[in-house]
Amino acid sequence: MKTIIHYIVILVAGASVFACDDFLDKTPIDQIAAEEYFTDEASAESAVRAIYRSLESSTYYGQSMIIIPEFAAGHVQNVYNYPEFVNFEQNDIRIDNPWVLNIWTASYSSINAANNVIASVPQMTGAISEEKKSQFVREAKFIRALVYFNLVRSWGDVPLITTPTASSTSLSDLQVSRTAASQVYAQIIADLNDAVSLPASYSSLDQTKGRATQYAAKALLSKVYLYQGDYPQAATFAKEVISKGDTLTSDYASIWLTENSQEAIFELQFDAQATNPLATVSNPTGSALFFAKDTVYKFFEDGDTRRDFTLNFQNGRYYIGKYRNYNPATQNVPVIRLSEIYLIYAEAQARVSNSPAGEPYQYYKAIRDRAGLETPDEGTFDLQGFITVVQREKRLELMFEGEAWYDYARTGLALTEMMTVPDEGRYLFPIPQTERELNLNLGQNTAYQ
């Protein structure tokens, strides 16, 4: 695919960068051919840092990878009601929708950057230890797995590319076909099984923030297995994360207001140099492009302490409340956090036990306890009813975090509780037409043919 970058995007890093305590200290960005770059530990670490940075672009977790699934879920509106956003609200996405193309392109750019590290670092002969080589490769595999997971949730079968493109790569070599989703999932799991050997933490809190760890890999594995329907494995990995001993923060709002909270498992780091595009355009300012639908308010029960933080009522309108650090837009993005793992465990273990009794109920109730809500007795629920209320709780807990659409599509709940025109074929987005014109081997999802 022509849009897959031929060069790894790296950060030009001098010795002063590595004297800083913050792993994700911001530095200017440049492009250098991969074969000319991997010379020592400093250059390899800079390349790894660049992969994390790629996730923060406005076409990925900096905006699109969050806001587009929220449109599909019916949670948000565009100030100008532009058709390219309304298409997602109505589950009637055009094959030339620019946001579909933007996310697809950003995904493969990040994957190519990860592939460069995975292929190049083991070949290094400069001043770098074998331990550091393994660590950097595992961090890259974690990110590659995360991005492929989002791709397969969004499009189903997608091209599986595990080797880097280079300046010498021909267009014919980029004419790749889609790979069955089952094979993509197998690669995701293989990458994460390697990434679980990452450290639980690094040399300091500043070195750990924003970085993949063994618990981030286990948390993502639990989520991947949930989507695969492998509930024993989902429950096992979720419980391993929970057993680490971290607890939910008592103040829900502090997850975003103070950032890097005790329940953050993998959180992208933004600051005044690398600002958060979504925070810039989702708050009550003249730059606002997105706001919350009024109907979201009604999803929350009376007394739910999450509601008045999740929804920021200003000037007669509900704004997205979770990205309030906007002046400057330094708002972090928690990609995986402990409360989601509680709910993954609740569902997965209930399925394994064929009952919500005991721990599944307890972890579900813990989320509601923090929200200040009463929870019906565990005997109230049969298995299917419990799975449904867990998903509804996850929708509220993770509102405006880009998750609910995929979670509801996973079980079919989207048909009755989200979609304007119920159609299972439209759980998936269309393959971007521009990509299909460049690569004739790319088929289209059935609903868009």
CATH class of 1-197: mainly alpha
Question: Hunting for tokens 């109907």 — which residue is that?
Answer: 295
pLDDT in tens, 175-188: 899 999 999 999 99
Q: What is the rounded CA–CA span in Å between residue 412 and residue 224?
A: 17
217-231 burial, b at 16+ Cβ within 10 Å, e below that, comes to bbbbbbbbbbbbebb
pLDDT in tens, 395-436: 999 999 999 999 999 999 999 999 999 999 999 999 999 999
Q: Per the structure block, which two tokens stand in for 206?
A: 């500043």
Q: What is the rounded CA–CA span in Å between residue 72 and residue 429?
A: 10
Range from 35-49, 129-143, 218-232 carrying the lowest mean pLDDT? 35-49
- Confidence label for 228 from pLDDT (cuts 50, 70 and 90): very high
- Confidence label for 166 from pLDDT (cuts 50, 70 and 90): confident
Percent of the chain scoring above 90 in pLDDT: 88
Instruction: Give the N- to C-terminal CA distance of the chain in Å, as an integer.
Output: 20
* Spans of all domains in the chain: 1-197
pLDDT above 70: residue 99: yes
Q: Answer for the pair 89, 74: CB distance below 8 angstroms, yes or no.
A: yes
pLDDT above 90: residue 34: no
pLDDT in tens, 238-279: 999 999 999 999 999 999 999 999 999 999 999 999 999 999
pLDDT in tens, 272-318: 999 999 999 999 999 999 999 999 999 999 999 999 999 999 999 99
pLDDT above 70: residue 134: yes
Which residue did the predictor score with more confidence, 17 or 366? 366
pLDDT at 169: 74
CA distances from 383 to 180, 235, 347, 350, 389 (A): 31, 16, 9, 7, 10
Q: Answer for the pair 370, 250: CB distance below 8 angstroms, yes or no.
A: yes
Q: What is the rounded CA–CA span in Å between residue 356 and residue 384?
A: 9
pLDDT above 90: residue 33: no
User: H-type helices in 55-198, by residue range?
Assistant: 64-72, 83-89, 98-120, 130-155, 181-195
Q: Answer for the pair 68, 392: CB distance below 8 angstroms, yes or no.
A: no
**For range 350-367, the mean pLDDT:** 98
